Structure 1
Amino acid sequence: MSKIEIACFNIEAARIAQQHGADRVEFCADMQVGGTTPDLQKTEIVRRELHIALHVMIRPRGGNFVYSVEEFAQMKNEILTYSALGADGFVFGILDEAGNIDKQKNKALVELAGGKSCTFHRAFDEVSDSAQALEDIIACDFTTVLTSGCAPNVDLGQEELKRLVEQARDRIAVMPGGGLRSTNIRRIWQETGADYFHSSAITDGSETAVAIEVDALVQAVKLY
């Protein structure tokens, strides 16, 4: 059965996601830059209230995905902190200067997660070679890659998403996200063969998931 992850930028969004049938919450801050590591106290509240899976974004800042020694150290510390808090998984991604997967750093973070599920986020959409990048991510033991198909949104990236799903061959979950809404999710599902989907479910210009949109996303892939 297909599943839905909702990107949540505040506590209320996480509550809405759970109440309306989402399978997992990706909790983060700073929607304007695509998400960063969330506030610890807010995450504590979300962890207490959610019985569905909670994945925490580990990203020290907006901008590119090439990180300094200090930023990498911060990411390691945050994984340990949020793991102790009870996070079920983590969302992160590190590239090198050439636009390749930084296998050494990513592998180190995955190992630090101690077997908890790790998603390589949309830094993937900036790689220089998506086919090689997918193999590198698999080699790092990520369980999921979040991608719009290396395009501005999932509609434009649909064919690449299909290709990635075929390349993955059940070795990793390819999770379409980026412009995914209830109006296009069923087509993306049918055309790509993906079975896990990511959306903020924001349709009103706010920073909070809209309940009716979460309902519609869930129903689109779970009633068929």
Structure 2
Amino acid sequence: MSGLQRIAILGAESTGKSCLVTALACVLQSRGHNVRTVDEVLRSWCDREGRTPLAHEQIGIAQTQAQAVQGIQQGVVISDTTPLMTAVYSDLLFGDDSLYPMALAHQALFDNTLVTGLDLPWVADGLQRDGPHVRGPVDTLVRQALERAGITYHVVYGQGQQRLNNALLALGLPGEDTAGGMVREKAQFAIHQGRTVWQCNACSDPDCEHQLFSGLLAKRVDPGAR
């Protein structure tokens, strides 16, 4: 990796996005890269306001997320979600698809887009998460939007070190050795207080992936449900 490289981590709630951002940043820094991470704006917004955003507040969150990424002009930038996730939730929860053009234009700025798979157990996290019932529809909308815009992406599955290694391989980078991975995973578990443990029984199996996505395409949650 040289110059400015942008990596987006997308995915439904409770699919290990933040953990993966932390792990990737740690690995790339240990390999000598200048790494900057961009936190999820929605999380800080909900913490500050004590509620989830209304329909008209979604655009501001999306714009703030985009500006945080665009404000970094060197090194490796790893973004924990992008405006595309805001667009998806606006579509799903409010029936508003107006944010997609802006979100997809911004998504095209990323060199790599990783989508976290649905193989992890859902874990509650206060206002931040609606429930396991929205994960399938969100995952479907994310993939459909990326494919509609012709944006290449890789879905990352796996438990612990395997999930990290699959992400590294998707980025065209070598994986981590087992010893180093164990140290990093323990540190990560402590940072997140065990809230986002990685778990999977069929990591990156192409048949499993095809079957999963085909099933998700047939489902759609009520936009008014939360």
- Measured against the shorter chain, the TM-score band is 0.3 to 0.5
TM-score (norm 1): 0.40
Question: As a proportion of its length, which structure holds more helix?
Answer: 2
TM-score (norm 2): 0.40
Question: As a proportion of its length, which structure holds more strand?
Answer: 1
User: Higher relative contact order by CA 8 Å / sep ≥ 6: 1 or 2?
Assistant: 2
